[in-house]
Amino acid sequence: MMSVKVKICGITTPEQAIQAQDVGADALGVVLYEKSSRYVPLDQACAIRAVVGADVAMVALLVNADATEVSRVIEQLSPDLLQFHGDETANFCHQFDYPFIRALRMREGVDPAKMTRGYQPSGGFLFDAWHAEQYGGTGATFDWSRLPMVRDYPLILAGGLNCENVALAVRSVFPDMVDVSGGVESAPGVKDPALVEKFIRHAKRVN
């Protein structure tokens, strides 16, 4: 069995990107959402993009951006994947004919099968904790048992993961990828190199 892939999200500097890759990150995410504490403007995202290796996926996270903005990100940043993390419809996500991840926030009582209907994201579905005011980066977990064990899409697990719980998460959910942001930070937007390395090691040692 292959070890789980790891995405470090909320990268804010080229230095963070280099460090995360050096310790085995499979994907790096930049947040292009101005209300996030990990927001980077597009020119900074391009500077980060410039140091991302060919074997690491660069992901651009967007929240309810309009079509013009999405097209600008595709044109200027050329990410490997877009990550739609807001309330985007399936039609909206698919109109760009560009690889994407669809993030879904696990609101209480909502059936994942209903939430995924209509979307066909080549990058898979990312399941995150629900928060009324925040689109991701909450530091909260959710009940992993709500996720389907049998699925026909790549599953990315996010929401409150850290060095202490990621091994249990991998054993419980068998995700294709785990996604972490705040769980490896010393402050919002500031990745702690030791925590990034430890998180990746703990995630990947589970077989």
The string of DSSP codes covering 52-86 is --TTSEEEEEESS--HHHHHHHHHHH--SEEEE-S
For 52-189, where are the E strands, in sequence order?
57-62, 81-84, 100-106, 125-129, 155-157, 177-180, 185-187
First to last CA, the chain: 7
Q: What is the pLDDT of residues 148-168, one digit of tens each?
A: 888 999 999 999 999 999 999
pLDDT band per the 50, 70, 90 thresholds, residue 63 = very high
Mean pLDDT of all residues in the chain?
93
DSSP sequence for 105-151: EE-TT--HHHHHTT---TT-EEEEE--SS-SS-------GGGS-SS-
Pairwise CA distance, residues 102 & 154, whole Å: 11
What is residue 81's predicted lDDT score, i.e. its pLDDT? 98
* CA 174/CA 156 separation, integer angstroms: 10
Cα separation, 57 vs 7, whole angstroms: 9
Query: pLDDT band at 176, cuts 50/70/90?
Result: very high
Instruction: Output the CA–CA distances (angstroms, integers) from residue 100 to 22, 23, 127, in the order listed.
Output: 25, 25, 14
pTM: 0.94
Phi, psi torsion values for 36, nearest 5 degrees? -85, 145
Say if CB 52 and CB 46 are below 8 A apart.
no
For the chain, domain boundaries? 5-204
* pLDDT at 132 > cutoff 80: no
Its CATH class, for the domain covering 5-204, is alpha beta
Res 160: pLDDT = 92
